[in-house]
A = this chain, B = another copy of it.
Amino acid sequence: MDQAHLRSLLEQVRGGAVEIDEALDRLRHMPFEDLGFAKLDHHRALRHGMPEVIFGMGKSPEFILEIASRLLDRTPNLLATRIDPAAAERIKEKFDDAEYFPLSGVLRVWRDRTQHGKGTIAVVCAGTSDIPVAEEAQLTAEVMGNTVDVIHDIGVAGIHRLMANRERLSQARVAVVCAGMEGALPSVVGGLVGCPVIAVPTSVGYGASFNGLAALLGMLNSCASNVTVVNIDNGFGGGYVAGLINRL
């Protein structure tokens, strides 16, 4: 859908030939822009209420900068994940309000801080090694306009730590629970609270954790019925879905 088509559509709207509803519908399903090697999807914001996210792994700093610039021309906020310090430096040179979080590798431009969520999102992790994944979830949910309550290091082998946070957990409208090793925390949290729980397995562990496979299988087999699962180390996915739910 190039510029010509867009102008034509809008003229039709102004002239009354096309109803507002129809124009919105057309816009929702079709437009994107062609960079040659990557098709940006500026209207995703309309569909999901979120700008395009940049997954930085395996992309050159130049490429990331180019995409970021295009996106920031049209949207106030930007989220980029798996960004190494060199790429972060390049982006911060151009956009001085960009924040970089080295633990999780997230880079964020957060200009429009309107709250869209209706309640609080709890972001929980089992051990200190799971913090990078939890931070990715937290930063994602925040940039989508949510209040996040972060609770670290309440793994199931010290169940009294978890029980001490029962009150905070039960006030969340949706919870993101990150855990490696046996990945049992979402089951216990899921049993304590009544809200949806997004489980994020992390690759934290030794030997037979097989880079997060043990935690992933544990979470998929959770005996708590309010648990769903995203990919290993996918803090972004956990925070994103929590944000979608919280704005319902």
Residue ranges of A at the interface with B (Cβ–Cβ < 8 Å)? 1, 28-32, 37-39, 41, 44, 47-50, 53, 55, 57-59, 63, 118, 126-129, 131, 152-164, 166, 170, 173-174, 181-184, 187-188, 190-196, 198, 201, 203-234, 236-237, 240-241, 244-246, 248
Kindly report which residue of chain B lies nearest to residue A214, judged by CB atoms: B217
A245 to B225, CA, bound (A): 13
Contact of A127 among B48, B194, B204, B223 (CB under 8 A): B223
- When distances are taken between beta carbons in the complex, the residues of chain B under 8 Å from A212 are 207-208
Identical copies of this chain, number: 8
- Contact between B248 and A231 (Cβ–Cβ < 8 Å)? no
Shortest Cβ distance from residue A82 to the other chain B in the assembled complex, whole angstroms: 8
A160 to B1, CA, bound (A): 10
A237 to B182, CA, bound (A): 15
Kindly report which residue of chain B lies nearest to residue A38, judged by CB atoms: B128
Shortest Cβ distance from residue A147 to the other chain B in the assembled complex, whole angstroms: 15
5 A–B contacts from the bound complex (CB under 8 Å): A156-B191, A201-B207, A207-B231, A220-B231, A228-B241
Shortest Cβ distance from residue A57 to the other chain B in the assembled complex, whole angstroms: 8
- When distances are taken between beta carbons in the complex, the residues of chain B under 8 Å from A157 are 187-188, 190-191, 222-225
Kindly report which residue of chain B lies nearest to residue A228, judged by CB atoms: B228
- Contact between A184 and B196 (Cβ–Cβ < 8 Å)? no
- When distances are taken between beta carbons in the complex, the residues of chain B under 8 Å from A248 are 118, 173-174, 195, 245-246, 248
A154 to B40, CA, bound (A): 10
- Contact between A48 and B218 (Cβ–Cβ < 8 Å)? no
Do A223 and B182 form a contact, CB below 8 Å, given A30-B160, A37-B128, A210-B217?
yes
- The listed residue with most B CB atoms (<10 A of its CB), out of A190, A212, A216, is A216
A51 to B164, CA, bound (A): 21
Do A232 and B218 form a contact, CB below 8 Å, given A182-B187, A196-B244, A245-B248?
no
